[in-house]
Every structure is written in C-alpha cells, then in structure tokens.
Structure 1
Amino acid sequence: MTMRLLPAVILAAAVLLAPVLWLVLPRLLAGGGVSLPGGGTESAEISGVIIENLKQEGQILELEAQVGELKALVEELQSRLQRLEAAVARGGLSPDGMVREGDIAPDSNIAASEYTQVALIFDRTNFNNPLTVATPGFIVDLLGKPRDTLSDDCQPMTNPALKQMLVTEQVGPVTVTMLRPAIESLKTVFAEIRRTDPKLHDLINTAGALCVRQIRGTSGRYSNHSFGLAVDLNINGALDNFTDGKTQMGLIIIADFFHAEGWIWGAGFRREDSMHFEVSREKLMEWRTQGLI
C-alpha cells in the first residue's frame, strides 16, 4: 500500500529551500565566485549583475525578512525526515515507502500533534485514480432517492428500502450510521489502520456520516452522505481546513487504506475536502454484483 507521506515532505523541503538558496547564492558569488563542475568560476562581474537584479526587484529585503522563519521550517522538515528514517529502520516502512505485510512496530514517541500537522498534498487531484466518483445521479439510479425533499440541513431518510439497510454501529474508534455494506467495508479499513498504526487509529474521530441533505451551494443535488455512503473523519478532534489544498498528516496516512478498500478521498476533489471519504462507483458496482445492495 503506497504511502504518500514521503513525497509530500520532500516536496515541501524543496519549496522551502529554494528561496534560501536564491538569497545566499548571489552573496557567495560576490564573495569570490563559485567553483563549477569544469573547474571554472563565476566572475565578480556576473555576480554583481545577479545581485543588482535582485535588488532592483526588491527580492533581497523580502527574503531576508523570511530567512529566520524558513530556517525554522527547514529544521522541522529535517526532524520529520529523521523520524521517517527511524520508521524505515524499525521496519515500519520499506525504503520505497511501501507498508510491509507483517506487523509494524509503532513509534511510541510520536505525539498526537504530529498527526495533526498539515502539509501540501502531492498531486492530490490524481490520488483517487483509477477509482471514480459515484455521482448523485448514478446513486439515485442505482438505489433510489433517500427522500424527496431536501434542504441544507440533515433530515431523516424516508426511502423504505434504504432504511432497511441502515445500521448504526461502533466501527473501530467511531460510531456511525451507514448502509450495511459501507459499515462492513469501514471495519476492514479501520482494522488495517489499527494493525499498522494503533496510536493513529485511536486518535480518529468522526465529524459525521449519514446526513440526508443537498450539497451546500446547490439545489436538489444529493450529498453522498444522504445515502449512508460517506463519512467525515478528523484526527484527535482537530478539524482539517476546507479547500486550502493542505491536509493533516494523519489523514494522508489513512487515505491509502481507504483507497485500497475502494473509497474516494475528498482531498482529490477540485474543492479539497480532506476529512471526507466516500464509497467509489466501482465499489458500489461490486456490491451490486454481490447482491449486497
């Protein structure tokens, strides 16, 4: 199961280091030149041109004001990379970032706050491939409407056939109301998370599952929560910011387990929603073939 934590951290480190190098390199050049692979050096004249251009654009003053903050962020990234290397040494991750099949020793030193740290999601709009979203229209054709009238607020489900499939259960660390096949699938996801990272498993909370309502900002378009096929999760009660393109480390980790089970992650939506997980079109068709829905 591919872990996307390493690419996210490495990309963030590159972004943070780039402006520091942009500031420091011209000064090194001004101080006598920098050796090139062929043995030559940049002339003082070229160095002066580079520095002059930066001054004209006002970039040096702006970067100098940010150097302290950038250094602190780089040190934090280095610390995270060291923890990842420690995980590799423990056997928790293989060098290529893959989760091993055997039991994985958790890092007891990881604090809850580490799981709620946020990072940019690398290539997030392609995360869900090859899974595809089950659109509201597709689900209505497959299962029927959960109720006829909708609003922005949660309302009871009135469809008798769907109501018969609704179950409320404690699943791993959360209690949710969803369709029976979704509950069983969620059990598989949480069992794998618990086996791999029991500390993270115990920090997972729910921000809601069944909620028969329209997608906010639309009129009459069902949210996937309306069918009992979606769940919102948070880490240790800390809600992830909506549509900022970033997400909590804990959510990045658990997203791989949901993907393997055939669920869509909301971080891949155009409007990033990292707390949201929903059953994919492919998983629904699998359940239909098995006679589960």
Structure 2
Amino acid sequence: MRLIPAIIIAVALLIAPVLWIVLPRALDIGRKPVLGPDADASSIAAAVEDVIIENLNQENQVILLQESVEALRDTVEKLSTRVQKLEAEVAQAMVFGGRTQGGGTGGTGGSQDPIGEIEGSEYTEVVLIFDRTNFNKPLSVAGSSFIVELLGKPREVLSDNCQPMTNPKLKAMLRTEQVGPVRVTMLEPALKSLHTVFENIKRADPKLHDLINTAGALCVRQIRGTSGRYSNHAFGLAVDLNVNGQLDNFTDGKTQLGLTIIADFFHEEGWIWGAGFRREDSMHFEVSKEKLLEWRAAGLI
C-alpha cells in the first residue's frame, strides 16, 4: 500500500523533536564542571540554582516527550486504521471487478467488437457505490406531479410502452441530435445541457467519452409498476447510458466504474443520478428540480 511510506515519514517527523531534546543531553553527560573544595557560598548557591533550574527543565522536557509519544501513538493508530479500510475496499473491488453485465446496446453508438470490449474493460468493472443515497445532494428529484404542473402532461393516456408525445408545446421543444457519442431525442434545453456534460467528459477522459452508449432517452410512458405516473423519460428530460455497450445491473447497489466517473459531470451540470434512488438505477440520468426551475426562470421552458 502507498500509505506505508506515509506512516514511516509521519513517525520520523514525530520522533524528530524527541531526538532534538535527548541527543544533546546525552552528549553533554560528564561535561559540566564539578565544584571544588574551595568553592565559596555564592558559587554553591549558583550551583544549587543551576541544579534546580535543570531539574525543572528536565520535568518540562519529560512532559513534552510524553505528549510527543501520545501524539505519535494516535497518528500511527489513525494511519493504521486508514490502511486497513483501504485494503478492505481494494479487496471488495477485486471481488466485484471484472463481472460482465448483460449485453445489448438499446441505442446508437458504442462498440461491439472484441477489441473494443478489451480496451474498455477497466470502465465496465463493477464496484460498490459509496454513500450512494447522498450522492445527488444538494440537488433534488423533480417528481412526476411537479413536472406536470410545470410543463403539462406529455400525453393524456399512458401505458407501459413508449408512445408519441401529443402535448403541442412540449412537442415543439423536442429535438433529435447527435450529442457527443450518442444520438437522442429530448427537450431542447436538456440537449444543450447534455452537450455540456459530454464536452466536459471528453476533455477529462476522451477514451471513456467514446465508449459511452445510450439505452434510450425520450419514451412517453408511465413508470413501470405504477398507474398514471409519468416517467421523466416521458418529458424528454432523462437519458439512460451504458459503457461499451454493457448494461449495468438494476437495483444491486453496484455499478460500472465508468458510470461513477460520468456521474460527477452530470451532477456538476445539475442532473440527478439514478444510483441515488432507493431502487438503484445507475444507468439513469435526469434533469434535477433545481435545473428545471433555472430554465423556467430563464424562459427556456
């Protein structure tokens, strides 16, 4: 582990004050003059005063040494605990790493050839999501009722399957474009925001950018398992992504390494990551309530 050298350096830094105090004292042993038989009273008094001062200094130095030792012990314990925690995390990542997910793209872009899969394998390794339920803070989810109140219904009658949007105002804002490595249909402000996300990803990690694929964006349907509740996909405000054509497992509390990297860029742009949902959905990204209110204030929706 890379923290082992850090522990050694920390120990050396903490021991240095101890050596600074102890070594000079050890080297001075036997060098102090001894009072002779002809010493007068003032010399004796001065010598006694020196001894008293010396004893007081020694006591202070002992206290300092004790404090240094305690600080050293605390630091070593903290570093040791951190090392153990990191070793456990690495062990977990090795257990989950390399487990491939179900194939199929469900969209455009991406690569299905074996060479591409090998080159992108590090991004599709499955890892645990740390503190996933707090990832989206301080952003908040835009619920179905909130979006309906803000934008209106995309269509009146819903089913579990994707259907055309019939709301004239929303339909007029729909655009189909190539955005970075994917081609999607979404509301125009969402497309522009998605362009920003992918531009930032490309600057930071061009290899990952080129491996991103989509499993769908606009889909006017109700949330599966519900009756009449609109999915954010129904408004053209959500997109499902995968890495290198490999779909992430749903609701297992783990995700692909590439999606964890992508999520930071979406969060910065004001999007919600589905990994933070009670039922983890790591492929899902949707516009946050705060972003929608920002667009409304700017007259974009």
Partner of 2:94: 73
- 1:145-184 alignment, distance < 5 Å: 145-184=153-192
Report the residue type matching 1:186 in the other structure.
Answer: L
CA RMSD of aligned residues (A): 2.0
Query: Would the alpha carbon gap of residues 213 and 111 (structure 1) be closer, same or farther in structure 2, given more than 3 Å must change?
Result: same
In the TM superposition, what is the alpha-carbon distance from 1:111 to its structure 2 partner?
3.0
Count of residues paired in the alignment:
198
Q: Does 1:118 align with 2:192?
A: no
- 1:77-226 alignment, distance < 5 Å: 111-226=119-234
Over residues 134-192 of structure 1, what are the superposed CA-to-partner deviations in whole Å (9 max), with x where a residue is unaligned? 00000000000000000000000000000000000000000000000000000000000
Over residues 30-84 of structure 1, what are the superposed CA-to-partner deviations in whole Å (9 max), with x where a residue is unaligned? xxxxxxxxxxxxxxxxxxxxxxxxxxxxxxxxxxxxxxxx8x937x89xxxxxxx
Q: Residues of 1 paired with 2:209 and 2:89: CA distance? A: 31
- Give the fraction of aligned pairs with identical amino acids, expressed as a percent: 77
Pair member with larger Rg = 2
Query: Would the alpha carbon gap of residues 223 and 117 (structure 1) be closer, same or farther in structure 2, given more than 3 Å must change?
Result: same
Partner of 2:290: 282
Over residues 207-243 of structure 1, what are the superposed CA-to-partner deviations in whole Å (9 max), with x where a residue is unaligned? 0000000000000000000000000000010000000
Q: Residues of 2 paired with 1:226 and 1:206: CA distance? A: 16
- Structure 2, unmatched stretches of 5+, are 1-83, 99-117
Q: Residues of 1 paired with 2:131 and 2:234: CA distance? A: 29
Report the residue type matching 1:129 in the other structure.
Answer: K
In the TM superposition, what is the alpha-carbon distance from 1:16 to its structure 2 partner?
6.8
Q: Is this contact kept in 2: 1:16–1:73, CA < 8 A?
A: yes
- For residue 278 of structure 1, give the secondary structure of its aligned residue in structure 2: strand
Q: Is this contact kept in 2: 1:215–1:223, CA < 8 A?
A: yes
Q: Residues of 1 paired with 2:276 and 2:90: CA distance? A: 24
Q: Residues of 1 paired with 2:276 and 2:85: CA distance? A: 18
Q: Is this contact kept in 2: 1:240–1:275, CA < 8 A?
A: yes
Report the residue type matching 1:167 in the other structure.
Answer: R
Q: Does 1:14 align with 2:88?
A: yes
Q: Which 4+ stretches in 1 moved above 3 angstroms? A: 10-13
Q: Does 1:245 align with 2:253?
A: yes
Q: Residues of 2 paired with 1:144 and 1:274: CA distance? A: 27
Q: Residues of 2 paired with 1:209 and 1:126: CA distance? A: 25
Over residues 106-150 of structure 1, what are the superposed CA-to-partner deviations in whole Å (9 max), with x where a residue is unaligned? xxxx93000000101000000000000000000000000000000
Q: Residues of 2 paired with 1:206 and 1:16: CA distance? A: 30
Q: Is this contact kept in 2: 1:12–1:120, CA < 8 A?
A: no
- For residue 147 of structure 1, give the secondary structure of its aligned residue in structure 2: coil
- For residue 272 of structure 2, give the secondary structure of its aligned residue in structure 1: strand
Partner of 2:7: none
Q: Residues of 2 paired with 1:265 and 1:227: CA distance? A: 17
- For residue 207 of structure 1, give the secondary structure of its aligned residue in structure 2: strand
Q: Residues of 1 paired with 2:155 and 2:265: CA distance? A: 31
Query: Would the alpha carbon gap of residues 196 and 138 (structure 1) be closer, same or farther in structure 2, given more than 3 Å must change?
Result: same
- Structure 1, unmatched stretches of 5+, are 1-9, 18-69, 78-109
Could you state the TM-score of these two structures normalised by the residue count of structure 1? 0.65
Q: Residues of 1 paired with 2:85 and 2:150: CA distance? A: 41
Query: Would the alpha carbon gap of residues 12 and 267 (structure 1) be closer, same or farther in structure 2, given more than 3 Å must change?
Result: farther
Q: Is this contact kept in 2: 1:119–1:249, CA < 8 A?
A: yes
Query: Would the alpha carbon gap of residues 291 and 237 (structure 1) be closer, same or farther in structure 2, given more than 3 Å must change?
Result: same
Q: Does 1:230 align with 2:238?
A: yes
Q: Does 1:292 align with 2:292?
A: no
In the TM superposition, what is the alpha-carbon distance from 1:14 to its structure 2 partner?
1.4
Report the residue type matching 1:171 in the other structure.
Answer: V
Partner of 2:275: 267
